[in-house]
Amino acid sequence: MLTENNFHHHNGGSVIHQHRTHYAPYQHPSYIGKVSQQQQHQQQSELQIPKFDLHHAVRTNDVTGIIRLHGRLRQQPTVADACLLDSNGHTPLYTAIDNGRLAMVDLLLHLGHNPYCISVARESALNVAIGYGRLDIIEYLLSRGFPVDYAGFENKTPLERAIECNQGSVVVMLLKRGVDWRHYEERRKTGDKSLVEWALANEHPQVLGVLIDEYGDDESIFNQIGMM
H and E: helices and strands count for the chain? 15, 0
Q: For residue 143, is pLDDT > 70?
A: yes
Nearest-angstrom CA–CA distance, 217 and 82: 52
Model pLDDT, residue 28 = 39
For residue range 154-211, what is the model confidence (pLDDT) as tens digits?
999 999 999 999 999 999 999 999 999 888 888 887 778 888 889 989 999 899 888 8
Number of structural domains the chain divides into: 1
Give me the mean pLDDT over the 22-29 stretch.
Answer: 46
CATH number of the domain residue 103 falls in: 1.25.40.20
Tell me whether residue 68 is in a domain. yes
Of 186, 185, 190, residue with least CA distance to 211: 185
Q: What is the pTM of this model?
A: 0.76
What separation in angstroms does the CA of 147 have from each of 14, 16, 17, 108, 224? 12, 9, 10, 18, 28
Give me the mean pLDDT over the 115-140 stretch.
Answer: 95
Model pLDDT, residue 5 = 39
Of 148, 173, 163, 174, residue with least CA distance to 198: 163
Tell me whether residue 84 is in a domain. yes
Nearest-angstrom CA–CA distance, 208 and 199: 7
Tell me whether residue 41 is in a domain. no
Across the chain, mean pLDDT equals: 78
Q: For residue 71, is pLDDT > 70?
A: yes
Full domain range(s) for residue 106: 50-146
Q: Which amino acid is at 3?
A: T
Task: Determine phi and psi for 23, rounding to 5 degrees.
Answer: -70, 125
Tell me whether residue 87 is in a domain. yes
Q: For residue 124, is pLDDT > 80?
A: yes
Tell me whether residue 98 is in a domain. yes
Residues 6+ apart with CB under 8 A from 225: 196, 208, 211, 212
Q: For residue 11, is pLDDT > 50?
A: no
